[in-house]
Structure 1
Amino acid sequence: GEMLVVVINTGGSTRFSSVVSLVARAQLEERSHFQKTIIQIGNFLILITIALVTLIIMVSLFRDEDFIEIARFALVLTVAAIPVALPAVMSVTMAVGAVNLARKKAIVSKLTAIEELAGVDIFCSDKTGTLTENRMQVADPIVMDGHSQSELFQVAALASKLENNDPIELPIFHYIDKHLPDIDLSIFRQTHFTPFDPVRKRTEAEIESAEQPFTAIKGAAQVLIDMAELSDEQAATTLLLVDQLAAKGYRTLAVGKKIADAPITLIGLIPLYDPPRKDSRQVIADMRKYGVRVKMITGDHMAIAKEVGRLLGLEGEAIRSKQLSGSGSQELLALAAALTSAIYQRLNGDASHTQARHFAEDVMANVEQLYDTRLLDREFIHTHESAIIEMIEDVDLFAEVVPEDKYHIVDSLQKGGHIVAMTGDGVNDAPALKKADCGFAVSNATDAARAAADIILTAPGLSVINDAIQQARITFERMKSYATFRIAETIRIVLFMTLSIV
């Protein structure tokens, strides 16, 4: 891609550094249930052995038997009783399971992940590129009065750069190739291109043509609506269209054209959507049969998350990331701004929505200067941890999340006593993948995600995960059978030898 950048932080002060620190923190806290179980079994058998061997030694000494013979016998009995081969047998069993998983295109990078996967009861999945294809497509475009679909896509393409391979821009060129082959972009010359940035939320390109130069603009609908200086009625109608498209799971690009110093002319809206993978819904249904509850975690807008969840059969409760750990105070501030805007309009009957919004923004800016709004956050954060865990357990869809939120969700579920699996494909998923009891990196994952994951999928889609769960449970049953046999054998040897001597 291409961008203009102002560097304000480097190294440890960057967002990437916070992602790396979360991965490191998860690695320090990492200890699998398998390791804990082996330690517990070993400690239990060692304590029993020590207790009974001590009893044998005391009885033998009381009977004035030869101490050397007693010591030899006690040593042999201790070595025979302690299951020194247990970790080795367990590791070999898991290695065999890993080979079987590899045949099903799931590469195990950490053997204990097999045991963890067998006990997973909650499966958290990223949306983009995991449950969906990560391949944006154009839905039915909306053209404003006085304009045509050809003009809409022509200007949208001129406000883009094909060579950047931007996933948002590529669908525009594909749509032109398929549906509007008569559009000729060669008659225009792009003299300057300003790439998208999160602040301006639009791309701009200065275009020279045979008629007159103009600026092609595409970006967030709200931004272009404000720049177009529409009437309140036109702005409200257009925003309603955007909201309706968002409710159907679409991301909407607005496209406009600016000539000289005149206001932007809004040409139309281009809805984009990322279709779910064909097997995702069936995979989720199969997981439920195995007793695994699926939760979708995404950085996308709430409306998009709900629509994709509906398509995948995840229609449970949905929340925004702000509600996870205290940032719900922003909802109070938003409510205060809405009330301020409404009161201003009632007191000034001729005021437009835009004027009322600007007045509300000024008032809220003054409020933030006079009152430390961070105090509200602290009050929300003091919500009892068990209540937050219970809330997270009940939710199926998490929207508008950041890497720290994904980590917090997995951590909270683990504190609630759940064994959690997580899938992801990007750098932002790495902390949660490392924190999860079993982390999956999907086939198109970044190197960071693969490094943090316990199991790496080499085939597209999630269907292999159900095979992995089945194989993991078979392997775990084998391990459980051997552990049970080893415990029973140790108790038999030590207990009966002790009884025979005493």
Structure 2
Amino acid sequence: MAGSKKSNSDVGSRKSQDAVVDIGKVVKENVVRTGSGGLTDSEVEAKRAEFGFNEVEKKKKNIWRDLFMRYLQPIPVIMIIAIVLSAAIQPSEWLSFGLLTVELNLLVFSAWRSELNTNDAMSALEDGIAPQIDVKRNGSWVRLYTRELVPGDIFLVKGGVVAPADALLIGDEHEEPVKVDESSLTGEALLATKHPGDSILSGSVIKQGELEAQVLSTGENTMFGKSLALLGGTDQVGRLQKLTTRLQLLILVCGIVIGFIIFLVLLFHPLDSTSFGDTVRTVFVVVIAGAPVTLPVVVATILAVGARELAREKAVVTRLSAIEELAGMDVLCSDKTGTLTLNELLVDEPWLQKGVTKDELFEAAVLSARKEGAEAIDLALFGCAPEHVLDSARNEYEAIKFVPFNPSDKKTLATVRRKSDNAVIVFSKGSPDVINRMCHSSNPEKLREVEDQMISFAARGLRTLGVARKFDGNGEGWTMLGLISLFDPPRHDTAEVIAAANQLFVDVKMITGDQQAIAIETCARLGMGTTIMGPELWKTGSGKVAESEFSKLVEDVNGFAGVYPEHKFAVVEQLQKNKHVVGMTGDGVNDAPALKKADVGIAVAGATEAAKGAADIILSEPGLGTIVVAIRRARKTFLRLNFYVVYRIWASAYNYIFFLILYVGLRFRIPAWCIVLVSLLKDIVVISTSKDKVPVAEDPQSWNMVHPTIVALLMATTSVITSILYSYAILPQYGNWWHNFHVAPLTESQSVMAIFLQLVQSFCLTVLSTRSKGFFLDFKRRPSLVLLFSAIGMPIVFTFFAVYLNAVELGSGPEADGCGWGAAGITWAYSIISLFVAEGVKLGAYYALEFDGKLRQKRKMQRRQLQKEIAAELLRDGGLDRLLQARPDAADFAEVTATSTTMKSPRDNDTDHFKELEEHVVKLETEVETLRMNLKDMDALRDGLLMFARGQVGLDQLETLLTKSHLE
């Protein structure tokens, strides 16, 4: 039910401190007035008018004040000083004054609008993943956004739900309590047990159990609502924002140092009749020209564009910095059910204990399930059970208590009363290991029988559900009724998606609570490899795996089976210790700790609110395909940002060093308006990079400022050298090389425009090189039309300006005059050649910096792929099965040994018969020794093959094992 959009500030005008409900003083009359059918629409409207929506309003910024404050940041302040100097010192410097004013307002307004757009984009994304909950309204259950709740509403709390308001748990004395995690609110690490009549706080997480609850207070009126309201106005600065701010300040400081050097030189050795005021203004203009004024605009725009692109691919980011981590992710730990598989369970032929009928088994399974909010397993059971069994479960039994499934116990418990004889019966279904141990802990033979059947089902890729029954009050224990086999087929595209992820150098590992055999079968079908660690990895005490061994295992294995929530956390933590950027998928409340711990927590489609709250990315489409698409998008966004930083550092270094040498070394000055105009054009080029087309990076991307800085500085050095050589060559007092091209020598004023044109071409054309790690003319890396116009269109337009400008003196400094088409053509040729020289330096720098890392990564993935192929071949051809089957059975070995021992005692005194028996004993002893040797060699060979599949030994070591074997 959708509510009106009226703001809380409007409806909250009538709120007072009296409306705040003390969680320790329950308002009982609310519980009494609300009927079992929940609130009606009219009651909701009345309470909405009084209390408003269930949300804590964020403190909104004054956008106009924010716009004004942007003018007071360091770089805008320097620009304002330069503008004032242009107007005060030289009134004729109107062009510099106008250009600086335009640039200042353009950049401040662009940054302001970019932040507004980014905030709007994030708000829209947040609206798309707003939490929902089951609420009872008008006598029926409906799914509503949590902001629609009002005091008096009845809603359902169960495992995975985040309490949307302060509420009172309701129910009778037979209801099972719920386990609640309030650590984020109270700091208490232990789970709180809450019974009907107890209260829960808004923001607490339901870990286990299921009850109804009634809302006591909402929004800012909740126990912690006021604190959240205060926190709502606090700005959180992300890592990337801090990094770009530091980069901006570092470049600005370098510019100020270089500007001070220029100032000292021009102060004591002035050019021409340069005044003190001209010198100061020139220094300010040079500093501004190289300052990264567009850095915040471009970074914010690139991230906002990336977030929108991910949202279009059904992946919503909860924080913009998650894009960076997703681009660098190199290990993805994926759950099996619903992500790698369809989570559409089909019931196969069950296995029955002796004396149990199929109807009895399915009746017990249905009674230990709950139809309201049914999970996939429960839906499959209700769908396959015969109609008469469902009728019997509905009509012949009365529910007393139900304990839902939870990740710790791995079973459900349903206590019912049979109407025919009032017998109280407890039914349970769940993990077959848990049910088997519960029923047969004291009967090893029966325990083994059930385990064999479980392995038989698992070998066919079937999940297994154990079902048991206990009669309450007769002193008897649990009786296992049988096993129900379920088939959860892999998604049709999962194998291709995993292969695509591997091509992106992302290692996909399965983490599942299912049996090891099922995990192996599923991995084999998906081409993931079959090295799956089972419950033996999680042993405690003397059998516990050493940390050093665990560190290597998490690297080498393809997955983990039989895991509990704490195991998922341990795997993620160890992979992070091994210097991996780890992604983790999950959907349940038990996945929340691992999702929070992972660098990239991914809540899959249909995840609980607790999982979504812990995740960095929320998927709205099932399967791994969305994740791989999101990785590609994130890497594009990261590359776009990375290439912009390279260009930004290059432009600043090129600007500062070039003008330092031009003023100090060549003793030549160009008008301030030329510098400002070049700076303005450069800013337009830079902003256009935010929407550039970039390729998908082949390997994971990590933010390493060293590499971009080295590449940018090397390219800047090359560009400065070529530009200074050009300036030296064309100036009349130096090279004056024009006669070599049969072009009339340029005057000083014409040289101004030639240098101006060369600067414009350098700033514009170089972006074509910095936007890619590969060769810039590669058609696959073609730029966007906007960038192409900025990089090529603007230099062409300003070529006409440089050619046809009449001799003018626009302010202080030398006069500027058109350089002519001959000089312009030669300048174009020189700039293009310079671009290719810088491109060569760039390619060489990237090759030298990244070669070793890429080689190691490729070798690692090739080794992993070889292990997967060998494991898949063994599985497909039955080689491993035949190998294990060829191993003599322990019972056979014991039988032969016993027979030989018995035969050593002759049963009569017949000499011939005794000799015959003696010969037979020797033969049997020989057979026993052969069997013993075979056992030893087969064990060694099996262990060798498993070690090879895990990557613990190489081909040479495996060959040595085969050579040493006594087997033929």
TM more than 0.5: yes
Corresponding residue of 1:38: 244
What SS is found at the alignment partner of 2:607? coil
What SS is found at the alignment partner of 1:72? helix
Corresponding residue of 2:428: 218
What SS is found at the alignment partner of 1:14? coil
Structure 1 residues not aligned, in runs of 5+: 21-27, 334-376
List aligned pairs for 1:208-247, cutoff 5 A: 208=418, 210=420, 213=423, 215=425, 217-219=427-429, 221=432, 223=435, 227=439, 233-246=445-458
Task: Tell me the CA shift for residue 322 of structure 1.
Answer: 8.4
AA partner of residue 268 (structure 1): G
Instruction: Indicate which of 163, 172, 176 corresponds to 1:4.
Output: 176
Corresponding residue of 1:341: none
Q: 1:47 to 1:292 in 2, by over 3 A?
A: farther
The reply on whether 1:285 has 2:499 as its aligned counterpart is yes
User: Does the CA-based 8 Å contact 2:399-2:414 persist in structure 1?
Assistant: no
Instruction: Indicate which of 306, 324, 328 corresponds to 1:97.
Output: 306
Q: Which stretch of the first structure deviates more once superposed, 248-257 or 135-144?
A: 248-257
Q: Deviations over 1:153-181 (max 9, x none)?
A: 12333444444735544432221148x77
Q: Which stretch of the first structure deviates more once superposed, 220-229 or 99-108?
A: 220-229
Q: 1:63 to 1:182 in 2, by over 3 A?
A: closer
The reply on whether 1:332 has 2:540 as its aligned counterpart is no
Instruction: Indicate which of 148, 156, 160 corresponds to 2:365.
Output: 156
Q: Deviations over 1:376-420 (max 9, x none)?
A: x9xx5xx46xx7655433333134445555445445444544333
Q: 1:82 to 1:320 in 2, by over 3 A?
A: farther
User: Does the CA-based 8 Å contact 1:155-1:216 persist in structure 2?
Assistant: no
CA distance in 2, matches of 1:46, 1:409: 44
User: Does the CA-based 8 Å contact 2:333-2:509 persist in structure 1?
Assistant: yes
Task: Tell me the CA shift for residue 283 of structure 1.
Answer: 1.7
Corresponding residue of 2:413: 203
CA distance in 2, matches of 1:100, 1:204: 47
Q: 1:111 to 1:251 in 2, by over 3 A?
A: same
Task: Tell me the CA shift for residue 280 of structure 1.
Answer: 2.6
Corresponding residue of 1:81: 290
Q: 1:85 to 1:283 in 2, by over 3 A?
A: same
What SS is found at the alignment partner of 2:332? strand
Q: 1:454 to 1:52 in 2, by over 3 A?
A: same
User: Does the CA-based 8 Å contact 1:158-1:216 persist in structure 2?
Assistant: no
Corresponding residue of 1:142: 351
Q: 1:440 to 1:236 in 2, by over 3 A?
A: closer
Instruction: Indicate which of 120, 125, 129 corresponds to 2:334.
Output: 125
Q: Which stretch of the first structure deviates more once superposed, 275-284 or 203-212?
A: 203-212
Corresponding residue of 1:354: none
Instruction: Indicate which of 488, 497, 510 corresponds to 1:296.
Output: 510
Q: 1:130 to 1:253 in 2, by over 3 A?
A: same
Q: 1:462 to 1:30 in 2, by over 3 A?
A: farther
CA RMSD of aligned residues (A): 4.2
Task: Tell me the CA shift for residue 90 of structure 1.
Answer: 2.4
Corresponding residue of 2:649: 487
What SS is found at the alignment partner of 1:308? helix
AA partner of residue 311 (structure 1): R
AA partner of residue 583 (structure 2): A
Task: Tell me the CA shift for residue 91 of structure 1.
Answer: 1.9
CA distance in 2, matches of 1:237, 1:84: 74
CA distance in 2, matches of 1:438, 1:8: 26
User: Does the CA-based 8 Å contact 1:139-1:272 persist in structure 2?
Assistant: yes
AA partner of residue 4 (structure 1): E
CA distance in 1, matches of 2:442, 2:567: 38
User: Does the CA-based 8 Å contact 2:181-2:204 persist in structure 1?
Assistant: no
What SS is found at the alignment partner of 1:311? helix
User: Does the CA-based 8 Å contact 1:158-1:207 persist in structure 2?
Assistant: no
Task: Tell me the CA shift for residue 494 of structure 1.
Answer: 0.6
How many aligned residue pairs are there?
441
Q: Deviations over 1:426-458 (max 9, x none)?
A: 333344444444443322122333334333322
What SS is found at the alignment partner of 2:427? strand
Task: Tell me the CA shift for residue 463 of structure 1.
Answer: 1.8
Corresponding residue of 1:106: 315
User: Does the CA-based 8 Å contact 1:108-1:456 persist in structure 2?
Assistant: yes
Task: Tell me the CA shift for residue 70 of structure 1.
Answer: 4.1
The reply on whether 1:421 has 2:583 as its aligned counterpart is yes
AA partner of residue 245 (structure 1): F
User: Does the CA-based 8 Å contact 1:104-1:464 persist in structure 2?
Assistant: yes
Instruction: Indicate which of 599, 607, 617 corresponds to 1:445.
Output: 607
User: Does the CA-based 8 Å contact 2:363-2:389 persist in structure 1?
Assistant: no
What SS is found at the alignment partner of 1:295? strand
Task: Tell me the CA shift for residue 149 of structure 1.
Answer: 1.4
The reply on whether 1:250 has 2:463 as its aligned counterpart is yes
The reply on whether 1:314 has 2:525 as its aligned counterpart is no
Q: Deviations over 1:343-371 (max 9, x none)?
A: xxxxxxxxxxxxxxxxxxxxxxxxxxxxx
What SS is found at the alignment partner of 1:131? coil
CA distance in 1, matches of 2:179, 2:316: 39
CA distance in 1, matches of 2:263, 2:376: 75
AA partner of residue 452 (structure 2): L
Task: Tell me the CA shift for residue 81 of structure 1.
Answer: 1.2
AA partner of residue 175 (structure 1): C
Task: Tell me the CA shift for residue 152 of structure 1.
Answer: 2.0
Corresponding residue of 2:383: 174
Corresponding residue of 1:52: 258
CA distance in 1, matches of 2:581, 2:353: 52
AA partner of residue 460 (structure 1): P
CA distance in 1, matches of 2:646, 2:484: 62
TM-score, normalising length: structure 1 = 0.72
Task: Tell me the CA shift for residue 253 of structure 1.
Answer: 1.0
Task: Tell me the CA shift for residue 490 of structure 1.
Answer: 1.4
User: Does the CA-based 8 Å contact 1:321-1:405 persist in structure 2?
Assistant: no
Structure 2 residues not aligned, in runs of 5+: 1-157, 159-173, 193-202, 207-234, 665-968
Q: 1:125 to 1:39 in 2, by over 3 A?
A: farther
Corresponding residue of 2:632: 470
Instruction: Indicate which of 263, 271, 286 corresponds to 2:485.
Output: 271
User: Does the CA-based 8 Å contact 1:109-1:456 persist in structure 2?
Assistant: yes
Instruction: Indicate which of 189, 194, 197 corresponds to 2:397.
Output: 189
Q: 1:229 to 1:15 in 2, by over 3 A?
A: closer
CA distance in 1, matches of 2:377, 2:609: 23
